[in-house]
Structure 1
Amino acid sequence: MMISFVKTYLWLFLPILLLYNFEKRQAINKTILHDVLINHPGEKKPVNAILQEIQNEDGYPVQYVMDVYSVICLKQVCKEIPVTLYWNNIGEYQKYKIAKGRTLEKYEADLFEPEDYLKIQSIMANPNSPFKDVYYDEILSVPQESDIDDLDAVSGPTALELDEKDTVPGAALTCYTLWHWANGEVVSKIKNITGKSLSLTQLQDFILKENETYFNIAINELNRRDLFSKEIIDTIILKVLKDEALLKKAFGYFEKAPSELYYDATKRLFFEGSKKQKLVVIQSLQNASDVPKIQLDDLSTTFGSLSSYQEVSMLLNLMEKKQHYSEILLNNVVPLLESDFLIARRVYWFLKNHKALNANEQDLEVFYQKNKSRL
């Protein structure tokens, strides 16, 4: 009897509880409206639009929404259908919606078929669609006034040739218009808004995410806020030690940091990094002023373990540019006279040309006599 009662209770009230929790979560989400000015290549002037930022209960942006029109009209030749577009928090297009009862149309008022709606979704979801490099005039074909009917997309004879997989036949203008709404200037605006909405902790989480876009958003926002700390830099170093592709962006940030933080970052990356990280560090230090002599001496201790001629040569170039000729450097460089010939020859001329190092002339003479035909 009791079991039967419990089952009945759950059957009656569980849906209500689930609905309550769903509505509660929805209520917790916050919508922030942003007035944005969007440049669309099909429009002569920037377009005013409302971009909705959806935040969760932690103030974390989770989604963006914007209403647009399906096609850019010329002389009222087309039928504009309101379309709602959705993006994630890094500006990646997700989906679209059309109001119930509305339909997209093709040239000569042909209706979209179910498969056309799927295709236009895949077109908008492809950031590298051929529509990226298409000009508005290549698509547009204006019928004679007498032939005008309600149209959604004018796609008569044009100079444009696209594979059928890349467009909806008869609706090239709609595809073009919506693709540029979904993947155009709004993407950078979403990234900027997301960055501004994030807390410092959330920015650090972005740095470590797999997708490179998160990293770029975080670095741009840290630069904008002029925020520098050892904790932030350590987080960035963890990331770029694993992903060399992010080094340029990271150094754009490091080089704006206070000197102590910058030099700590370069030292750690040089000693913990691979060849690529080492080369980027050396290149950055070339342009830095007042590199601490102790740091240059520390870097010189790695000469014996560097794996390539390029690393050795660039590090020697750095010492030359900074006019650093210490005894510690000398002691770390001389053993390379016994290494691979290309490296040894580079070291020989480095020692020969910089008398301030007080290199042992006997060592240089021995190397010269042994290799003079190749110098």
Structure 2
Amino acid sequence: MLPLFLISGAEVPLNSTKPIQHKIVVNHPGEKESVAVILNQNVDENGLPTDYYMDVQSVICLEQVCKVIPVRIFWNNLGEYQRYELENGATLEKYEDAIFDPEDYPKLHSILANIASPFKDVYIDEILTVVDEHGDADAVSGATALELDEEDTVPGAALTCFTLWHWAYGEIVQKIKEITGKSVTEQQLEVFLVDENHTYFDIALIDLERRKNYKTPFINRITERVLEEESLLKSTFYYLEKSPSSIYFSATKEVFVSGGTAQKLATIRSLKSINYKVPTSYLDRLSNDIQKLKTYQEVSFFLDLMQSKNPNSKKVVENVFPLLKADFIKARRTYWFLRNQNLSAEQNEILNSFKRRNKSLL
């Protein structure tokens, strides 16, 4: 293979361990059928995955008139594109048998390195649609109806850019993440959970769920992390919702009580949709913290939860009543919640007094 460092300055890592081959099936938006491919996984001396590579064709050629060149694409162990390589002496082709110019190779690398490339939203039919013979050919993408800025494609090689970009960012990325998660030990998954790169955190959660691992050290580490970083809430709750009920309720209580607005709202949403029967005693205990809810949204969501999962709880009613003295928008929401609860005579009198004072605003 022709090392890409001759083109882009990237270095090719040396690895004396024989690659591990994974036979997988993926879809490519330019192919009508699923494609069986061989994904090669490199590991270090400790057996930890370091990077991956796969040999693909340079273009999807439906008309059998293209020059198809093998291209080797490399990813790191997170499925992030790193570089490409060609066989020694191989050249890529443009429209009408023109070959890539020397400057086109590093440009192709920069296109493949752009996760937000316009090729993300391009269909192969747009590239294969040839303009009318009396019209002007698109100088950027070749004689197609597709219009792209020149910096976003190699002029005359839109099909090659499309093909390789979708190999670099297609289903193979998730496959790599899954293989990385399956390949490491529990100790390494613990390291993933505290890595600054959130992708490692997500990989760890997915594989912990696959292994049905809900051990206390992992749960503690996960809840500690999600209390600090709300961007991890979605993957965290996906994992917790698959855990045994005792672990789920313990962890969600910690996230609710100790977390900020985002953590509290995520907990409430989860509790409203979870298939487990939520104990009323658990919800009663959560209501002890209702005075700590800072925003109207938190209060409203929490009261919705109580109405649907724990109606007419004396403990909840007792804890909610002080909110009638909060700012008016929260107090009004509290009033309408309490109107639907079983109240004592004394509580009814307090609620009616609130109604008389604020009749015009309710």
Query: When the two structures are superposed, what TM-score results if normalisation uses the length of structure 1?
Result: 0.83
Q: Match for 1:107 among 78, 86, 95?
A: 95
Given residue 253 of structure 1, which amino acid in structure 2 is its aligned partner?
Y
Look up the match of 1:34.
22
Change (3 A) 1:141 1:343: closer
Q: How does 1:289-328 map to 2 (within 5 A)?
A: 289-328=276-315
- Rounded to whole Å, the distance in 1 between the matches of 2:229 and 2:96 is 51
- Classify 1:285/1:359 alpha carbon distance in 2 versus 1 (closer, same or farther; 3 Å): farther
Residue type of the partner of 1:127?
A: I
**Residues 181-237 of structure 1, C-alpha deviation per residue, up to 9 Å, x if partnerless?**
222222122112112112122223223323332222222222222221222222221
Paired with 1:298 and 1:110, the residues of 2 have a C-alpha distance of 72
**Does structure 1 retain, via aligned residues, the 8 Å contact 2:283–2:310?**
no
Do residues 132 (structure 1) and 95 (structure 2) align? no
Distance across 2 between alignment mates of 1:142 and 1:76: 16
User: Cα deviation per residue 1:295-336 (whole Å; 9 max; x = unaligned)?
Assistant: 222211222221122212222222222235444433322222
Q: Tell whether the 8 Å contact from 2:80 to 2:173 is kept in structure 1 after alignment.
A: yes
Distance 1:38 1:372, change over 3 A: closer
* Residues 91 and 188, structure 1, Cα contact 8 Å, conserved in 2: yes
User: 2:51 is matched with which residue?
Assistant: 63
Alpha-carbon offset, residue 64 of structure 1: 0.2
1:175 partnered with 2:161: yes
- Asked if 1:123 is matched to 2:111, the reply is yes
Task: Report sequence identity in percent.
Answer: 53
Of the three residues 260, 263, 286, the one matched with 1:274 is: 260
Partner residue, 2:143: 157
8 Å CA contact 1:208–1:215 kept in 2: the answer is yes
> Residues 260 and 116 from structure 1, CA distance in 2 versus in 1: closer, same or farther, beyond 3 angstroms?
same
Does the C-alpha gap of structure 1 residues 109 and 360 become closer, same or farther in structure 2, counting only changes over 3 Å? closer
Query: After superposition, what is the alpha-carbon deviation per residue over 1:349-373, rounded to whole angstroms, capped at 9, x for unaligned?
Result: 3333312566533322332332223
Amino acid at match of 1:254: L
Deviation at 1:125, TM superposition (A): 1.0
Distance 1:353 1:79, change over 3 A: closer
1:43 partner amino acid: E
2:24–2:39: 8 Å Cα contact kept in structure 1?
yes
Partner of 2:137: none
Residues 1:257 and 2:243 aligned together: yes
2:120 corresponds to which letter in structure 1? K
Cα pair 2:93 2:157 within 8 Å, conserved: yes
* Structure 2 residue aligned with 1:344: 331
Deviation at 1:38, TM superposition (A): 3.0
Separation in 2, partners of 1:258, 1:357? 38
- The 2-side partners of 1:233 and 1:189 are apart by 25
Q: Distance in 2 between matches of 1:323 and 1:185?
A: 43
* Counterpart amino acid of residue 53 in structure 2: V
Query: d(CA) in 2 for partners of 1:249 and 1:88?
Result: 22
Counterparts of 1:365 and 1:43 in 2: how far apart (Å)? 68
Change (3 A) 1:117 1:285: same
2:176 is aligned with 1:190? yes
> Letter of the aligned partner of 1:279 in structure 2?
L
Q: 1:287 to 1:140 in 2, by over 3 A?
A: closer
User: 2:19 aligns to what SS in structure 1?
Assistant: strand
- Cα distance change on mapping 1:40 and 1:327 into 2, 3 Å: closer
Q: Distance in 2 between matches of 1:141 and 1:315?
A: 54
Q: Which residue of 2 aligns with 1:94?
A: 82
Equivalent in the alignment of 2:270: 284
> Which has the larger Rg?
1
Provide the C-alpha distance between the structure 1 equivalents of 2:290 and 2:263, rounded to a whole number of angstroms.
15
Compute the RMSD of aligned alpha carbons: 2.4
User: Aligned equivalents of 1:219 and 1:141: distance in 2?
Assistant: 44
Q: Secondary structure at the match of 2:91?
A: coil
1:335 counterpart = 2:330? no
SS in 1 for 2:151: helix
Aligned length: 341
Match of 2:136 in 1: none
The alpha-carbon deviation at position 240 of structure 1 amounts to: 1.7
> d(CA) in 2 for partners of 1:30 and 1:56?
10
In the TM superposition, residue 292 of structure 1 has moved relative to its aligned partner by: 3.0
- Residue 165 of structure 2 aligns with an amino acid whose one-letter code is W
User: Which whole-Å CA distance do the structure 2 matches of 1:137 and 1:321 have between them?
Assistant: 50
Aligned partner of 2:5 in structure 1 is: none
2:219 is aligned to 233
Q: Show structure 2 runs of 5+ residues with no match.
A: 1-12, 132-139
Contact 1:293-1:324 within 8 A present in 2 as well: no
- Contact 1:351/1:359 (8 A) holds in 2: no
Cα distance between partner residues in 2 of 1:76 and 1:364: 79
> Which residue identity lines up with residue 241 of structure 1 in the other structure?
L
Q: Secondary structure at the match of 2:71?
A: strand
TM-score normalised to structure 2 length: 0.86
